[in-house]
């Protein structure tokens, strides 16, 4: 049953919001928060960050003339209230569902989504680009970037601030400081922001807000006085941002509309030539008790009961690949003091929170800084440590130059544990691990492995501990395993060796990664139709098992490769080998099943793999097509 709201029901777009008397804006915010909690309880999603910016979202769309004025939400975790206020209220319960709203900002979804974002720390760079374009076009539109305290600690944000401070181009950066990104922020920036809030003046901010607001207006006159500079310095302690060329205001209470409204108005109307940074203090999970109390402040939640806060749990009792990785690495670290683990602000997501409980001194969370994480790992490797850079596939893309220059060229034995390989479901294309096979397999000196199940993941971790002469990577998917019995930590794999799962005739399937179970399912159905195929678990994209590939090519009519990655990966390396050996000239048929040349929108992983033609039915169809079989395959509904 649809809820009824006194104010929110009147609001479909920001133009409707502007008709609400300012005195009632907090009531709008309260209703907006209630609607968002109810919606996310149905869909799951990134609730905590969005709860923290409800008042800010209302204030921004009330004060600024969006979409003419541009708002860029960093990462996108905090964009749900923005979506409700910008014409998507009636679709908010399709969030992160197939065919529904994206969980992040997305330009093709709405003109109010100025810049698509699902990875962090891009807002200031993109906002500066838009602001410079406005200047070149003689436009006076405002441009705002809303960035969190975790995201502003990343290198890209510093690069953008350095550029913006020297540009003298007007733009507004709102630093949303809630003491939390996904995990607790780490590093000197978090300490610096905490010191700002430890001062007594912050706690009397309500008494000084009028002085700040008044001073703000005066500051932009040509004859600004020293008194205002002293006030600003005393109240804020914003020396770092001021030194970078930003006019700094804050900290202010981000949940107090009586503070936000006047300061945003002054920022909007100012004639200041240069960037402005408004530092607001918010609470992640604000307004929902269970979120406020949660360790991660309900950062990413599954469907939940609004009244009890209890999240729905998957029916599977099998361990996740992430947990299998963490527990296996812990076992090795107990025997080998040289093993260390590195995460880039994702200790819980990568399982390194478990590793840290056992080895706090050997666990390094470097913050949202994948580039630094990789080179930091390389430095550890030069001193004969065994670093495990544990990073999602999609985030490792951000550090590719470091992987090439600082690791591969120097042939340093950094171990890359690549979580979330392949398609990941509700997070959509921005978080899919689509390219790591390609971008790592092209590099000289690398060993590239993919686990077909949780047992093979254990073997690959075991193997990686003894690869001391070059870098290596092993990839594994999101979610739970298939129920395979886990081997001991002594069981290893010979580098570059595949394994034959079943022997058949005419056609061989070389599977690389977690589509092996679907391949076996396809083979079982094909056998019922009189088609018996060979299945190989390739295990390695680099180095290839060339002897086995040669054998298969000379004893079968056709070869099909399967991988959860883009063109240029495992299949490309196989066909390159076959071509160089002249095996494709001997009537050998070759096909490659891989991710298509599109970005696949969010849905269930099962549906996404159907779109990618990497499910068991698609594999069956490809086999029959290659063999020119006259068997008619009946599609399963």
pLDDT tens for 507-544 read 999 999 999 999 999 999 999 999 999 999 999 999 99
Question: Is the distance from CB of 365 to CB of 325 less than 8 angstroms?
Answer: no
Q: What is the reported pLDDT for 265?
A: 94
Sign of CA dihedral 511, 514, 516, 519: negative
Decide if 284 is catalytic: yes
The better pLDDT of the pair 191, 507 is held by 507
Long-range Cβ pairs for the range 286-291 (8 Å, 24+): 286/33, 286/51, 286/52, 286/54, 286/255, 287/30, 287/33, 287/37, 287/51, 287/54, 288/33, 288/37, 288/47, 288/51, 291/47, 291/48, 291/51
CA 365: distance to chain centroid? 16
Q: Which residue has the higher pLDDT, 238 or 515?
A: 515
Give 297's pLDDT tier (boundaries 50, 70, 90).
low
Domain boundaries in the chain? 8-293, 321-475, 499-626
Compute the distance between CA of residue 61 and CA of residue 53 in angstroms, rounded to an integer: 12
**Active-site residue among 370, 454, 518, 620?**
370
Q: How far apart are CA 475 and CA 418, in angstroms?
A: 5
Q: Is the pTM of this model over 0.75?
A: yes
| Cα 191 off chain centre by | 24
SS3 259: helix
CATH number of 321-475: 3.40.50.970
Say which residue, 64 or 206, is predicted with more confidence. 64
pLDDT at 475 over 50: yes
CA distances from 34 to 5, 54, 290, 465, 600 (A): 10, 10, 13, 50, 32
Q: Do domains 321-475 and 499-626 have the same CATH topology?
A: yes
Mean pLDDT of 42-53: 91
Q: Which of 398, 542, 594, 622 is catalytic?
A: 398
Q: Residue 637 has what pLDDT?
A: 38
- The band of 291, judged by pLDDT with boundaries at 50, 70 and 90, is confident
Q: What confidence category does residue 210 fall into, taking pLDDT thresholds of 50, 70 and 90?
A: very low
The CATH fold of domain 8-293: Rossmann fold (3.40.50)
Please give the CATH topology (third level) of the domain spanning 499-626: Rossmann fold (3.40.50)
Judged by DSSP in three states, 566 sits in coil
pLDDT at 313 over 70: yes
Q: Would you state the pLDDT for residue 188?
A: 55
- Residue 370: active-site member: yes
Can you tell me the mean pLDDT for 178-199? 54
pLDDT category at 293 given cuts 50, 70, 90 is: confident
List of residues 6+ apart from 632 with CB closer than 8 A: none
On the question of pLDDT at 192 being above 80, the answer is no
Other C-beta atoms closer than 10 Å to the C-beta of 486 total 17
Helices (H), 168-249: 188-198, 200-203, 205-219, 226-236, 239-243
Query: Which pLDDT belongs to residue 525?
Result: 96
Residue 398: active-site member: yes
Share of the chain above pLDDT 70, in %: 88
**What is the overall mean pLDDT for the chain?**
89
Q: Which of 232, 284, 475, 542 is catalytic?
A: 284
pLDDT tens digits for range 359-409: 999 999 999 999 999 999 999 999 999 999 999 999 999 999 999 999 999
């Amino acid at each position: 049953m649809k809820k009824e709201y006194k104010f929110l029901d009147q609001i479909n777009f920001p133009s409707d919001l502007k008709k609400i008397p300012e005195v009632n804006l907090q009531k709008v915010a309260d209703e907006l928060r209630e609607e968002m909690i109810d919606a996310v309880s149905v869909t799951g999603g990134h609730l905590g960050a969005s709860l923290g910016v409800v008042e800010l979202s209302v204030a921004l769309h009330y004060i600024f003339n969006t979409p003419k004025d541009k708002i860029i939400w960093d990462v996108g975790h905090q964009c749900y209230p923005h979506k409700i206020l910008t014409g998507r209220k009636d679709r908010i319960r399709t969030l992160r569902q197939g065919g529904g709203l994206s969980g992040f900002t997305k330009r093709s979804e709405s003109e109010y989504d100025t810049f698509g974002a699902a990875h962090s720390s891009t807002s200031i760079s993109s906002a500066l680009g838009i602001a410079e374009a406005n200047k070149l076009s003689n436009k006076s539109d405002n441009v705002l970037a809303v960035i969190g305290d975790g995201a502003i600690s990343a290198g890209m944000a510093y690069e953008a601030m350095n550029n913006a401070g020297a540009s003298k181009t007007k733009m507004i950066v709102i630093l949303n400081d809630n003491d939390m990104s996904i995990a607790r922020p780490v590093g000197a920036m978090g300490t610096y922001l905490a010191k700002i809030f430890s001062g007594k003046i912050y706690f009397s901010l309500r008494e000084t807000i009028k002085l700040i607001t008044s001073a703000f207006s005066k500051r932009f006159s040509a004859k600004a006085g020293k008194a205002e500079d002293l006030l600003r310095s005393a109240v804020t302690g914003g020396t770092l941002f001021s030194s970078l060329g930003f006019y700094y205001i804050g900290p202010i209470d981000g949940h107090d509309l009586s503070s936000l409204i006047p300061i945003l108005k002054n920022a909007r109307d100012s004639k200041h030539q240069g960037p402005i940074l408004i530092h607001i203090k918010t609470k992640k999970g604000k307004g929902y008790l269970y979120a406020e109390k949660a360790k991660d402040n309900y950062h990413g939640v599954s469907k939940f009961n609004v009244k009890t806060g209890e999240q729905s749990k998957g029916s599977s009792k099998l361990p996740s690949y992430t947990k299998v990785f963490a527990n296996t690495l812990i076992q090795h670290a107990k025997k080998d003091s040289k093993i260390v683990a590195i995460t880039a602000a994702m200790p819980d997501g990568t399982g390194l929170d478990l590793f840290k409980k056992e080895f706090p001194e050997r666990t390094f969370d470097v913050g949202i800084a994948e580039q630094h994480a990789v080179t930091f790992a390389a430095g550890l490797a030069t001193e004969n440590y065994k670093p495990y850079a544990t990073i999602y596939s999609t985030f490792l893309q951000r550090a590719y130059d470091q992987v090439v220059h600082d690791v591969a060229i120097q042939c340093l034995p950094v171990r890359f544990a690549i979580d979330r390989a392949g398609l990941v479901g509700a997070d959509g294309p921005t978080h899919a691990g689509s390219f790591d096979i390609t971008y790592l397999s092209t590099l000289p000196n690398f060993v590239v492995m993919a686990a077909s199940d949780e047992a093979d993941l254990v073997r690959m971790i075991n193997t990686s501990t003894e690869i001391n002469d070059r870098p290596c990577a092993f990839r594994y998917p999101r979610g739970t395993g298939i129920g395979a019995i886990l081997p001991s930590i002594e069981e290893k794999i010979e580098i570059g060796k595949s394994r034959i799962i079943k022997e058949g005739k005419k056609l061989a399937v070389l599977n690389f990664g977690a589509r092996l179970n679907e391949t076996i399912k396809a083979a079982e159905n094909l056998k019922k139709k009189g088609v018996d195929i060979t299945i190989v678990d390739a295990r390695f994209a680099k180095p290839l098992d060339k002897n086995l590939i040669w054998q298969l090519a000379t004893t079968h009519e056709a070869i099909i490769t399967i991988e959860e990655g883009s063109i240029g990966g495992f299949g490309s390396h196989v066909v390159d080998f076959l071509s160089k050996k002249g095996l494709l000239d001997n009537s050998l048929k070759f096909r490659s099943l891989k991710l298509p040349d599109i970005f696949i929108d969010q849905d269930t992983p099962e549906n996404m793999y159907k779109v990618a033609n990497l499910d068991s039915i698609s594999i069956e169809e490809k086999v029959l097509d290659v063999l020119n079989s006259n068997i008619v395959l009946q599609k399963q509904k």
